[in-house]
Amino acid sequence: MNARTVYYAAMSLDGYIAEADDTLAWLMEFPGVEPGPAIAPVEGGYDEFYEDVGALVMGSLTYEFVLEHASSWHYAGKPTWVLSTRDLRVFEGADDLRITNAAVTELYDEMVAAAADRKLWVVGGGNVASQFADAGLLDEVWVTVVPVVLGTGKPLFDRRVPGKPMRPTEVLPRASGMLELRYELVR
């Protein structure tokens, strides 16, 4: 099996992956809520997804969030690309980090080869995911909906995803009250 390119992100109920000022307190401090009696939560989530990731790609704002908030490089052993038009410092301890100004179309073959038969994770943000979608290089969208409403913020995608509507493949209710929705892009 070839690598699948998957945009995996958390999103507020009204479609935002970050607040307007790029903060994530709404997600990081989410206390969880017990699902109603008609919901049968299933196990799994981020850890299960991450086990099958072979390589990652993210935008500069996502990377800067990691630089500011992470005490250690959480993506050790996985090739990681950061798409940026600016010079950024390298995260101390990052073992396979590539900061580049190249287009996703130029990097795609290298990223998929690095992921091998595992997932190429489009970490964020909405602009990077939109670049992959625009180029027809995005295979799936896995979004965990957090039951909070922000009212404004950074959207899941920066622009309309071209082509046919995405096909839902799974709906996974979690014990935290979040719902993981999985879609595949139809070409």
Angle of CA points 51, 52, 56, to nearest 5°: 100
Q: 122 has which bridge partners? A: 7, 57
Spatial CA neighbour of 132 closest among 82, 57, 73: 57
Backbone dihedral angles phi then psi of residue 48, each to the nearest 5 degrees: -60, -45
Backbone dihedral angles phi then psi of residue 90, each to the nearest 5 degrees: -85, 135
List CB contacts of 59: < 8 A, sequence separation 6 or more: 82, 83, 84, 124, 125, 127, 128
- What confidence tens digit (pLDDT) does each residue in 129-176 have? 999 999 999 999 999 999 999 999 999 999 999 999 999 999 999 999
pTM for the model: 0.95
Q: What domains lie within the chain, and their CATH numbers?
A: 4-30+41-184 (3.40.430.10)
Q: How far, in Å, are 53, 56, 70, 167 from residue 4 at the CA level? A: 9, 12, 27, 15
Q: 119 has which bridge partners? A: 4, 53
Residue length of the chain? 187
Give the pair of three-digit tokens for residue 138: 């995005």
pLDDT of residue 1: 56
Residue type, 43: E
- What confidence tens digit (pLDDT) does each residue in 91-113 have? 999 999 999 999 999 999 999 99
Spatial CA neighbour of 5 closest among 96, 99, 81: 81
pLDDT of residue 124: 87
